[in-house]
């Protein structure tokens, strides 16, 4: 146990020593190359991969992190948790997953190991790989890129991405080894979802980080250690493959909520990187209605404009209305329309909007969502 504990701790600290915006993955890899196999390969799209033995399983994580700059991270140790000094994100999303995979590689667990680029800006690396490369010899892909400590994701924004049989079997393997996992239909979207049209079982596994995309991000290092140790003992090739990629099954709905899981602790709004997201727009018909200023007591807030993060707080930690209006036109709904309705709106796009940009427990977000339903082609 001491070996895996030391490996996970030291590797995680090295991997999270810098924030890595999209486009800086190669620079980062050059700095930490001794952590990876010397003969690791790179595909035509910039992703890194490594193959061990004969296997029909792909393991995936991503190298980029939420940040607008490539800067050093200052770690703060807090019992079982690793945080930062509050000036940067930690990057546990998804260096935690990378850490698990490196321990599996060290222990020669058969599989195809993919370290994707550009996940945080639209699954760029995995999207290109899934479109351009041939993965017909693979039955399952597992992303290690889920918050919390107990989820095996069965549904993402693409609909059902893995079967209950697969999820139950994997939970059984983990739980026999002392973990506490259950299947969770409340996934959003990560690299494994890009393969859902071709690979039978595409899931996402909790790796123990919380409050990702914020300066309050933290990692449960004890859970990460236990997960890494378990992953070298799982019978990956023996897991059942039951899902038919040719049959679309939408995510389960519960009223205006999405998915079901006892392990979900807060919602995800993928462009507003703070669980304590901005609410209170007066009406989706109102134009340039600025949000009332409020104090941010915990973490900074960032907005992902696809060209890197823009900090959305002033130096005294009050919401910057002028900057918000400049970026969004002063109206969340107009911004969503510009982003998603430039081309035809699909059902997948609608689901992403509902999950990542709206709170369907609020009246005006529901009105707006119902309007969008009429625009789906």
Q: Chain-wide mean pLDDT for the chain?
A: 80
20-47, pLDDT tens digit by residue? 999 999 999 999 999 999 999 999 999 9
Q: What is the pTM of this model?
A: 0.72
Domains, the chain, with CATH or none: 2-238 (3.40.630.10), 267-373 (no CATH)
On the 0-12 / 13-18 / 19+ scale of CB atoms within 10 A, 279 is: exposed
Dist CA 121 CA 204 (whole Å): 18
Question: Residue 274: pLDDT above 80?
Answer: no
Phi first, then psi: give them for residue 243, nearest 5 degrees: -70, 140
Range with the largest mean pLDDT of 58-67, 119-128, 300-309: 58-67
Average pLDDT over residues 113-123: 93
pLDDT band per the 50, 70, 90 thresholds, residue 287 = very low
pLDDT the model gives residue 305? 39
On the 0-12 / 13-18 / 19+ scale of CB atoms within 10 A, 214 is: buried
Dist CA 316 CA 212 (whole Å): 23
pLDDT the model gives residue 118? 93
Decide: helix, strand or coil at residue 351: helix
Contact criterion met (CB below 8 Å) for 175 and 187: no
Average pLDDT over residues 221-229: 98
- From 123, 104, 130, select the one nearest 36 (Cα to Cα): 104
Dist CA 97 CA 61 (whole Å): 5
Determine how β-strand 302-304 pairs with β-strand 257-258: unpaired
Average pLDDT over residues 152-159: 89
139-148, pLDDT tens digit by residue? 999 999 999 9
> What does 226-294 look like in DSSP terms, one character per residue?
HHHHHHTTS-GGGS-----TTS--PPPEETTEE---SS--S---TTB--SS-----S-TT--S-PPPP-
Dist CA 130 CA 153 (whole Å): 20
pLDDT cut 90: percent of the chain above it: 60
């Amino acid at each position: 146990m001491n070996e895996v504990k030391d490996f996970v701790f030291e590797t995680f600290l090295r991997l999270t020593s810098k924030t890595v915006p999209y486009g800086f993955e190669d620079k980062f890899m050059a700095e930490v190359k001794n952590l990876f196999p010397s003969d690791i390969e790179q595909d035509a799209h910039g992703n890194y991969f490594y193959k061990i033995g004969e296997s029909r399983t792909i393991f995936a994580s991503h190298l980029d992190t939420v940040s607008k700059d490539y800067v050093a991270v200052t770690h703060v140790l807090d019992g079982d948790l690793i945080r930062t000094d509050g000036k940067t994100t930690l990057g546990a999303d998804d260096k935690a997953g990378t850490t698990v995979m490196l321990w599996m590689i060290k222990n020669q667990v058969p599989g195809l190991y993919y370290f994707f680029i550009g996940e945080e800006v639209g699954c760029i690396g995995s999207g290109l790989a899934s479109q351009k490369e041939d993965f017909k010899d693979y039955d399952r892909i597992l992303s290690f890129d889920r918050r919390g400590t107990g989820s095996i994701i069965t549904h993402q924004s693409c609909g059902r991405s893995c079967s209950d049989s697969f999820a139950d079997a994997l939970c059984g393997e983990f739980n026999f080894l002392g973990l506490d996992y259950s299947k969770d239909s409340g996934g959003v979207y990560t690299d494994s979802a890009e393969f859902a049209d071709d690979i039978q079982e595409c899931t996402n596994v909790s790796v123990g980080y919380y409050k990702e995309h914020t300066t309050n991000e933290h990692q449960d290092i004890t859970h990460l250690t236990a997960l890494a140790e378990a992953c070298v003992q799982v019978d990956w090739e023996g897991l059942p493959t039951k899902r038919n990629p040719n049959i679309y099954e939408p995510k389960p709905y519960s009223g205006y909520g999405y998915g079901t899981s006892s392990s979900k602790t807060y919602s995800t709004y993928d462009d507003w990187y703070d669980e304590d997201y901005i609410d209170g727009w007066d009406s989706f018909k109102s134009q340039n209605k600025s949000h009332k200023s409020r104090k941010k007591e915990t973490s900074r807030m960032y907005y992902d404009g696809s060209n890197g993060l823009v900090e959305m707080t002033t130096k005294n930690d009050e919401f910057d209305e002028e900057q918000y209006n400049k970026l969004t036109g002063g109206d969340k709904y107009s911004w969503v329309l510009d982003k998603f309705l430039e081309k035809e709106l699909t059902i997948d796009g609608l689901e992403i909007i509902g999950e990542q940009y709206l709170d369907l427990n609020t009246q005006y977000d529901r009105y707006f969502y119902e309007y969008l339903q009429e625009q789906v082609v």
